[in-house]
Structure 1
């Protein structure tokens, strides 16, 4: 390239820059947002004494949007993003739908469900008003909102026209452009039920051959009752995918937390939603197909975004981190998309009525669900016979203790036998300690040889601790049962109003650190009963046994502190179990004493007119466990 050619190109480039920046007039109403995305300019006016949005008209879609070139999708998105709603303006209206189970409120501002109340449930025992599970007070931010994600067009910010309204249905319409609109129809069963039918249709002329997507999302938060596990995991999001044959996979329950990318997507999802311990909102595709699925989208907040605000919500008893669960689907003007939105209790009877989508999977009993289910079955049977959930819990306690009795008896026998064995070999142990006090390695080896020779196992003396740890799965299962089983919610017993909450005998004039302002009697009764039980244990001069008893006492007091804010129904189980344990210990010790085992063996034998066997020698008597070897 010669010098003149280069200069000519440079001059042409300079002229182009000058023309584009100083000669061409700037575009009108240009926004400082994403160049491929622009939202409608909204102004305010007054219609019928109410504020309403006025959305000005923009040009129709140009014919270039249906061009078959390689960039037709990007071109269509750019052109549609320049559209707004039509010139129609409507006042903001609140629409109420109801049946015997639900009271719903929709708003034309976004065509969203703003409030869902359950008629058969209440805030407290004395409350007569329906229980809100989705509401502004819970910071739910509305459900069933639509958003055209391909255009970054949030339809929840528009004021929709109410086309038609009845006691059980409502239809909304919003104009995207002169020849494009969206209709959102919502309805419920006029008599009963917890499901909302949602139908979405995109009407008018839309670009051919383009992939434009929209989203329909649930509420950000749902009500939870803070008790047990629910206090740590207020809301969870749940979804169920389908296998290739159309069958449903096992539902996956995940905690609500910050999302690194702000959203999560899943494919081939049958249903998904947000749940708490007792309530759930679930959306699923209902397009008339045998096994309908769609792409699930989960939207939340990124780490560090508004974290202090969400912490404040948690302190107020509201779900902290927000999360919306819904579907992202391609816009299809030729068909109507239908959804079913369940908002209601996680009651087995209600969920069993929705077997088509296996709704019973909403109830998550955790890892020990195999224990929770038989416990609940027995509680239901007992309550139907006894007429009281409190008495049913007491009956369940007796049943569990009866099943554990053989294990407890065996542990107690081993403990007593080993204590006798340790008492018998104490002189030999003292001799070994004195002889090898300067050689710990040899002392330990000789001691272990003595244990093996005499058939003594010191670890067996800790059977009491082992018995407690064996009950941990039962305790965890019961904690989950009282946290998840809605049948127990607001069921009373004695002075207790709600067996799923602390007994809250009275409110103190001050708050205790970590314990709160309510005085809960049951945890204190539990600690007292367990301490009495420990005091009734036979005394021992063995340092290991004494250490075990001290550890047991400390554990019981620690459990009382941990359980202070737990469900009162769970504390009833613990107290009755401890009382039964006291009686059981007396029975077991009496049986062992009759067999010549334990501290009371000598007196029992004497009362029967026989001589006491005393501490048995090697290979002799009940005090000598195992066979062992005779010593020379």
Structure 2
């Protein structure tokens, strides 16, 4: 192979050629005089152009730039959005729907509710009460397209159209492909209603949707704090839902995420006294529900209490969406919710089983009746308490009468205990005691049954007052809000389980409970049998309860609704008065003793239960005697 050698002649030729070109460019450049002359000529030409020519030239240039920009944007939108590129030509705007109760601001970005204001309510610190504001809520449909794109409606712009249907306002929000192909959210608000009609449907999109990919609904909300007590409000803030079989359930958690997958007819984000409920005629299948507590420290002011989310696949019918739904955005008022035939009244927690029946059939109607002609809600609670105590007074009388009878029989029972001492005679002693009680026509259970019968009323009212929105921000005496705690003194420190304030109504209720239990204990101690071997000292236990119950009331109710403490204070005060009246003006122990003596003379037929009990005790006594002989 021939070796390449350096060519000196070629290098000299290239250098000379470059020198010639540089000389030619330098010698042909214009002189300073020629440059100045050309500049003056151009200036004169510009000055000779007419004003109309200038305008025409400018407008043409701007239009060309705009067209070029729009073309670039459209190409970019088509690349990102495909068939829904029209959305990119719209801008962010808002439409207002409102009536006398509710004001909704609908954003055309996502076609969703941006603000929801309840006009007739304010927060605990007198600010307008918003359920939705400042992006605390998001409603989104996620779907795939036939050209393999995945889109989210919350990121796309809908075209709004506001019309009226009689007195109703109707807002159509359309996510368009063109005039004949679109996804539509249809809102309709009626006068004096918290319920808003909401329909989701598509038209002409059967070939645009990717039918192999699910359309997913995603609705989330962070619940604003609205009430005085963060801890109390957080306890009452829960997610309720109705299953497809129309049974009601809820998610209530502490600090961790809680989730459930279930078919649902509606989902309610309950925020103590207010709720946002999404109702659907066609059930959401396999909906994923989740709730999370956002309150880190209940003593630190916070914006949110809980975060809720609903994720559910939406079914396509012949390739199209069609869901008739409703939004309820309003108060948890049992009377308002009751008129809607969708079972949503169950989010008002009036208690389960018999407690709920007592509230719905007795306390709600009585409270509404009193509310009709009395404006002071503290007086309504007092009158309601008086009604309850009058109705329950026969049970108090029965309980006190039983105690008085047992007190009259106490000397005979003490005689039995002296005659049959020791652990070995326990069965026989108990048998003779029961025989004496049977002959006298006295039952130890007679004093317990009235107390047990009063328990459902106690627990029913425990649910009734905290759930009653009519008490919200209604004052009485020193309490400025009967639905929240009454604070008469703010502590400079926080006491665990108690709080950083002192409530007066729980103190009064605790004092009343103490004296009530003391009176009950003195009556029961009069009828109490001496403590037997191997048995706990009942007197000591009762003394402990006498102090323990008021202390628990004092601690537990310090953060609860003052209406509840007011009820228990008045209720126990009335019970004490009734017991004093029964003791001094109705019960006569001499008459009771005479009646017992008369009962002893009458032949007493034993019931089946008493016979079986006596037989069982006799068998136990015989077995005990046999074991003693063996030893």
Which one of 252, 259, 264 corresponds to residue 261 of structure 2?
A: 264
- Structure 2 residue 142 is the aligned partner of structure 1 residue 147: yes
Shift of 1:395: 1.5
Which one of 542, 546, 549 corresponds to residue 539 of structure 2?
A: 546
Q: Is the 8 A contact 2:398 2:447 kept in 1?
A: no
Residues 454-476 of structure 1: per-residue CA shift (max 9 Å, x gap): 22799966876665443322122
Shift of 1:412: 1.2
| Mapped partners of 1:251, 1:524: distance in 2 | 40
Shift of 1:378: 0.4
| Mapped partners of 1:154, 1:492: distance in 2 | 51
Q: Which residue of 2 aligns with 1:370?
A: 357
Shift of 1:386: 2.8
SS at match of 2:237: coil
Q: Which residue of 2 aligns with 1:486?
A: 469
Change (3 A) 1:227 1:563: farther
Change (3 A) 1:371 1:460: same
Change (3 A) 1:365 1:308: closer
| Mapped partners of 1:141, 1:174: distance in 2 | 20
Residues 200-243 of structure 1: per-residue CA shift (max 9 Å, x gap): 343555438945542444443445756998643511222264xx
Shift of 1:488: 2.4
Residues 140-197 of structure 1: per-residue CA shift (max 9 Å, x gap): 432x422227989451441414444689565544467x99974444434374422333
Q: Is the 8 A contact 2:184 2:201 kept in 1?
A: yes
SS at match of 1:500: coil
Q: Which residue of 2 aligns with 1:245?
A: none
Q: Is the 8 A contact 1:499 1:569 kept in 2?
A: yes
Shift of 1:109: 3.7
Which one of 523, 530, 533 corresponds to residue 506 of structure 2?
A: 523
| Mapped partners of 1:229, 1:464: distance in 2 | 36
- Structure 2 residue 310 is the aligned partner of structure 1 residue 324: yes
SS at match of 1:354: coil
TM-score, normalising length from structure 2?
Answer: 0.68
Q: Which residue of 1 aligns with 2:328?
A: 342
SS at match of 1:293: strand
Moved more, 346-355 or 520-529: 346-355
| Mapped partners of 1:112, 1:254: distance in 2 | 26
- Structure 2 residue 287 is the aligned partner of structure 1 residue 293: no
Structure 1: gaps (5+ residues):
1-52, 61-79, 242-248, 286-291, 602-612
Query: Aligned ranges for residues 354-365 of structure 1 at < 5 Å?
Result: 354-355=340-341, 357=342, 359-365=344-350
Q: Is the 8 A contact 1:99 1:191 kept in 2?
A: yes
Change (3 A) 1:222 1:298: farther
Change (3 A) 1:474 1:406: same
Change (3 A) 1:109 1:205: closer
Shift of 1:377: 0.7
| Mapped partners of 1:423, 1:505: distance in 2 | 50
| Mapped partners of 2:545, 2:256: distance in 1 | 43
Q: Is the 8 A contact 1:228 1:479 kept in 2?
A: no
Which one of 251, 254, 261 corresponds to residue 255 of structure 1?
A: 251
Residues 354-376 of structure 1: per-residue CA shift (max 9 Å, x gap): 34x45544444231211111101
TM-score, normalising length from structure 1?
Answer: 0.68
Shift of 1:444: 0.8
Q: Is the 8 A contact 2:140 2:154 kept in 1?
A: no
- Structure 2 residue 573 is the aligned partner of structure 1 residue 579: yes
Residues 432-472 of structure 1: per-residue CA shift (max 9 Å, x gap): 22xxx3xx2x2212211221332279996687666544332
Q: Which residue of 2 aligns with 1:452?
A: 434
Structure 2: gaps (5+ residues):
1-72, 532-537, 607-631
Q: Which residue of 2 aligns with 1:381?
A: 369
Larger Rg: 2
Shift of 1:556: 3.5
Query: Aligned ranges for residues 373-452 of structure 1 at < 5 Å?
Result: 373=360, 374-433=362-421, 437=422, 440=423, 442-452=424-434
Change (3 A) 1:466 1:354: closer
Alignment length (residue pairs) = 508
| Mapped partners of 2:257, 2:121: distance in 1 | 36
Q: Is the 8 A contact 1:278 1:346 kept in 2?
A: yes
| Mapped partners of 1:174, 1:493: distance in 2 | 53
Change (3 A) 1:260 1:365: same
Q: Is the 8 A contact 1:507 1:518 kept in 2?
A: yes
Q: Is the 8 A contact 1:55 1:88 kept in 2?
A: no
SS at match of 1:504: coil
- Structure 2 residue 209 is the aligned partner of structure 1 residue 193: no
Q: Which residue of 2 aligns with 1:20?
A: none
| Mapped partners of 2:176, 2:298: distance in 1 | 36
Residues 254-296 of structure 1: per-residue CA shift (max 9 Å, x gap): 2256999966241xx65443334432223334xxxxxx42434
- Structure 2 residue 279 is the aligned partner of structure 1 residue 284: yes
| Mapped partners of 1:353, 1:330: distance in 2 | 32
| Mapped partners of 1:420, 1:449: distance in 2 | 19
Residues 384-432 of structure 1: per-residue CA shift (max 9 Å, x gap): 2333222221112122112221221111111122133233331331232
Change (3 A) 1:256 1:526: closer
Change (3 A) 1:444 1:55: farther
Q: CA RMSD in A?
A: 4.4
Moved more, 183-192 or 102-111: 183-192
Query: Aligned ranges for residues 205-244 of structure 1 at < 5 Å?
Result: 206-207=206-207, 210=211, 213-222=214-223, 231-239=234-242, 241=244
Q: Which residue of 2 aligns with 1:74?
A: none
| Mapped partners of 1:626, 1:524: distance in 2 | 52
Q: Is the 8 A contact 1:220 1:324 kept in 2?
A: no
SS at match of 2:505: helix
Residues 44-90 of structure 1: per-residue CA shift (max 9 Å, x gap): xxxxxxxxx99934569xxxxxxxxxxxxxxxxxxx9x987568355
